[in-house]
Structure 1
Amino acid sequence: MSSDSNDYGWDESRGISLLAKLRSDLKQAMREHDDDRRNTIRQVISEFPKLTVPITLESGKKSTRLKKDEEITDDDILGVIAGLVKSEKTTLELQKKTSSPYLEILNSYLPQPAGADEIRAWIAANIDFASFKTPMQAMGPIMKHFGKKADGNLVKKILAGQSD
């Protein structure tokens, strides 16, 4: 029924900005009366006013203004979605649940996280532990490379294993 370009979710290889994909998915969800998806995407978009740019007013005062659509980057939106995922996981933990349709939909827009094997392989190829006093000091370059794709706690565990 739907082609690849109309599938919900996003990844960088699609060649479309995350903002454009969210907007097209919202229209599709409304047409298909998919309330869970529609409400989730609206929740993400409702967080955009938190995305601001620092400015200096003529009086010299520091302030911020909202980012215009063309200024909103995929990383900005991924940060918003990651924040919503974190708060939903906390809520589900309190309810003794493991997942919800809302969480599943949010996760479909996040890049797939780097696995432990991928992180270990990159560390082996790129990190010289002799140049660090402790393995934990390699955390910075590793997180800089993987960005939001790597879970900091997983990287810490891998590095802790290096010091054995």
Structure 2
Amino acid sequence: MVMIKDRIREDMKAAMRSHDAARLSTIRLLLAAIKQREIDEQIEAGDEDVLAVIGKMVKQRRDSVEQYRSGGREDLAANEQAEIDVLSTYLPQQLSDEEVAAIVEEAVAEVGMTGMAAMGKVMSVVKPRVNGRADLGKVSALIKARLTA
């Protein structure tokens, strides 16, 4: 099975050959972020690590898009959105809201606790199941809503 990092490197070569400057720039940023994580944590980044880096980069760019749009800078928001589109190609298929809700329900049943005291335990069960396939901020809000209901 091809590792995500290898696929990213191949895509970088393809972007160089096709003179796709925007895609090449985004891929280089991604590879630099992966390399930085490898150096910081003194590890060889596996698929889980790479997905975490990509997820973090996508989240940062989504926040930037919101800020640029609220500031009336649609041109900068479009650039950030283009980067999100490139980065998203490396993420696994995103879970639907219904699928995430079902996973949360399973986790709450597994933990067998209710109330906000169970938040950490439920999140620790849900996180590995949705990692890279759902926005953890939304998942956390869903868990909180479920536990306080």
* TM-score bracket relative to the smaller structure: 0.7 to 0.9
TM-score w.r.t. structure 1 length? 0.68
Aligned 1:23-42 pairs, distance under 5 A: 23-42=9-28
Partner Cα distance (1:122, 1:48) in 2:
29
Check 1:113–1:95 CA distance in 2 against 1; reply closer, same or farther (3 A cut).
same
Cα offset for 1:120?
2.2
Query: Aligned pair count?
Result: 137
Partner Cα distance (2:41, 2:102) in 1:
42
Say if 2:119 is the partner of 1:119: no
Considering fraction of residues, name the structure with more helix.
2
Q: Any stretches of 5+ residues in structure 2 without a counterpart?
A: none
Higher-Rg structure is 1
One-letter code of the match for 2:134?
A
| Contact 2:38–2:45, Cα closer than 8 Å, also in 1 | no
Q: Secondary structure at the match of 2:132?
A: helix
Say if 2:134 is the partner of 1:143: no
| Contact 1:116–1:158, Cα closer than 8 Å, also in 2 | no
Q: Any stretches of 5+ residues in structure 1 without a counterpart?
A: 1-14, 54-63
| Contact 2:8–2:27, Cα closer than 8 Å, also in 1 | yes
Q: Secondary structure at the match of 1:150?
A: coil
Q: Which residue of structure 1 lines up, in the alignment, with residue 37 of structure 2?
A: 51
RMSD value, Cα: 2.7
Check 1:41–1:126 CA distance in 2 against 1; reply closer, same or farther (3 A cut).
same
Aligned 1:1-164 pairs, distance under 5 A: 15-52=1-38, 66-67=42-43, 71-96=44-69, 97=74, 99=78, 100-125=81-106, 127-128=108-109, 131-134=112-115, 136-137=118-119, 138-159=122-143, 160-161=145-146, 163-164=148-149
Check 1:66–1:158 CA distance in 2 against 1; reply closer, same or farther (3 A cut).
closer
Considering fraction of residues, name the structure with more strand.
1
Q: Identity of aligned pairs, percent?
A: 24
